[in-house]
């Protein structure tokens, strides 16, 4: 039996717990723990599905927020309140770097050194099916952070030239729960942040393949990928993003972001992406860049309708 057998003291007065994009009251946490310990689900997906259905935890398009629920359950497990079933892939958790199989398809290609116009129009393929394996391998082999399954919502693009040659990989995913530089730039209240955080998307991977050396290619891809994001994200998740954020390691100048009209909002504090207790975990301080996707996007994010 995988459910934890120990009891937690003070269930009647248990505190509320903040999940990704949703706060759970003490009574709700007790119910979640009971479902996790006594529901009989033998997989994390089945448990997350049951909890999402019970609390109507859905995206604007009606789909269950399974990834966010997994993350919430991992937080309860970390507290020692539940014990989740083992994963089918050997215990790897989302957000952890993943080793991807090496194939000939991901081997270094022929050098691409030409004018940008010779590659246009670029093709941005939303990654799925067979392209997923290639995208994952390229990112794992050539991006300094490697491949990792992101938290929450996600959208990936494989960028090719007009002749079909792979040039770059882009990934958008759910925004950081807290990012001080971004939050100051938006100027939203805590309540507004809780309501509108899903309207902010993070560009969590951007890779120009190392054998591709084409002036102005990076800024062109940034502009194209942001337009594709505005078109494709609502189809997947039922709402249009208003702001994109990214974090750039100190080893890079962020020149392509500035050239694509992104705004340098400041630096990260060096805490982990989901550090809600304000404890530093040794993460590198990074530059934070942001971009409004429509006019008055920040104004819209600051508005909270009164009941």
SS3 221: helix
Residue 137 shares a structural domain with residue 55? no
Domain that holds residue 52: 11-78
pLDDT of amino acid 92 = 47
- The residue that leads in pLDDT, 79 or 199, is 199
What pLDDT is recorded for position 62? 81
**Residue range 206-248, pLDDT digits in tens:** 999 999 999 999 999 999 999 999 999 999 988 999 999 999 9
Q: Is residue 140 part of a domain?
A: yes
In a domain, 4, yes or no: no
Binning pLDDT at 50, 70 and 90, where does residue 183 land?
very high
pLDDT score for 89: 47
**Total tally of structural domains belonging to the chain:** 2
Distances (CA, A) of 301 to 183, 186, 197, 229: 10, 7, 8, 18
CATH number for the domain that contains residue 172: 3.40.630.30
User: Do residues 236 and 276 both lie within one domain?
Assistant: yes
Mean predicted confidence (pLDDT) in 254-281:
76
pLDDT of residue 7: 41
Q: Are residues 203 and 287 in the same domain?
A: yes
Predicted confidence (pLDDT) per residue in 81-130, tens digit: 888 887 654 444 445 556 688 888 889 999 999 999 999 999 999 998 77
2 found inside a domain: no
pLDDT at 1 > cutoff 50? no
Domain match, 221 and 123 both: yes
Which tens digits make up the pLDDT trace of 276-295? 444 444 468 899 999 999 99
Please indicate, yes or no, if residue 177 is contained in any of the structural domains: yes
- Convert the pLDDT of each residue in 157-167 to its tens digit: 999 999 999 99
Instruction: Say whether pLDDT at 135 is over 70.
Output: yes
Q: Does residue 148 sit within a domain?
A: yes
* pLDDT score recorded for residue 42: 74
| 67 and 39 within one domain | yes
Torsion (CA) 203, 208, 214, 215 in degrees, nearest 10: 30
Residue 87 lies in a domain: no
In a domain, 18, yes or no: yes
Do residues 73 and 102 both lie within one domain?
no
pLDDT in tens, 296-307: 999 999 998 754
Q: What pLDDT was estimated at residue 154?
A: 92
Q: pLDDT class for 78, splitting at 50, 70, 90?
A: confident
Q: What mean pLDDT comes out for the span 145-154?
A: 85
- Residue 116 and residue 158 share a domain: yes
Q: What is the pLDDT of residue 271?
A: 57
Whether residues 139 and 61 share a domain: the answer is: no
Q: Is pLDDT at 8 greater than 70 in this prediction?
A: no
Tell me the per-residue pLDDT of 23-76, one tens digit each, with 9 for 90 and over: 888 888 888 988 888 877 778 888 888 899 899 888 877 888 887 888 888 888
- Same structural domain, 104 and 250: yes
Domain identity same for 73 and 119: no
Looking at the structure, tell me whether residues 137 and 285 fall in a common domain. Answer: yes
Q: Which long-range contacts (CB under 8 A, 24 or more apart) does 136-141 make?
A: 136/98, 136/100, 137/100, 137/101, 137/102, 137/103, 137/105, 137/106, 138/106, 138/166, 138/169, 138/207, 138/209, 139/169, 139/171, 139/205, 139/207, 140/98, 140/99, 140/100, 141/100, 141/102, 141/106
Look up the pTM and report it.
0.73
- Is 28 part of any domain? yes
**Same-domain check for residues 39 and 163:** no
């Amino acid at each position: 039996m995988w459910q934890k057998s120990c009891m937690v003291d003070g269930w009647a007065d248990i505190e509320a717990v903040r999940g990704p994009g949703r706060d759970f009251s003490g009574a709700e946490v007790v119910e979640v723990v009971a479902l996790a310990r006594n529901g009989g689900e033998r997989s994390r997906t089945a448990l997350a599905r049951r909890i999402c259905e019970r609390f109507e935890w859905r995206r604007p398009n009606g789909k269950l927020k399974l990834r966010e629920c997994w993350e919430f359950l991992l937080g309860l497990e970390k507290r020692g309140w539940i014990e989740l079933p083992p994963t089918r892939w050997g215990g790897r958790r989302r957000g952890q770097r993943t080793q991807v199989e090496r194939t000939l398809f991901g081997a270094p290609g022929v050098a691409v050194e030409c004018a940008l116009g010779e590659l246009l129009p670029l093709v941005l393929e939303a990654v799925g099916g067979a392209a997923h394996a290639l995208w994952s391998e390229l990112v794992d082999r050539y991006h300094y952070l490697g491949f990792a399954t992101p938290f929450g919502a996600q959208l990936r693009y494989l960028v090719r030239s007009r002749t079909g040659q792979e040039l770059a990989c882009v990934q958008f995913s759910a925004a950081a729960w807290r990012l001080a530089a971004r939050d100051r730039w938006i100027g939203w209240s805590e309540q507004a942040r809780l309501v509108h955080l899903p309207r902010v998307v993070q560009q969590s991977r951007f890779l120009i393949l190392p054998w591709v050396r084409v002036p102005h290619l990076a800024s062109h891809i940034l502009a194209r990928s942001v337009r594709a994001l505005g078109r494709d994200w609502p189809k997947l998740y039922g709402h249009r993003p208003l702001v994109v954020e990214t974090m750039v390691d100190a080893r890079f100048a962020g020149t392509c972001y500035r050239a694509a009209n992104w705004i340098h909002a400041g630096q990260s504090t060096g805490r982990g992406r989901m550090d809600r207790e304000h404890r530093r975990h040794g993460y590198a301080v990074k530059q934070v860049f942001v971009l409004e996707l429509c006019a008055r996007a920040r104004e819209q994010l600051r508005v909270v309708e009164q009941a």
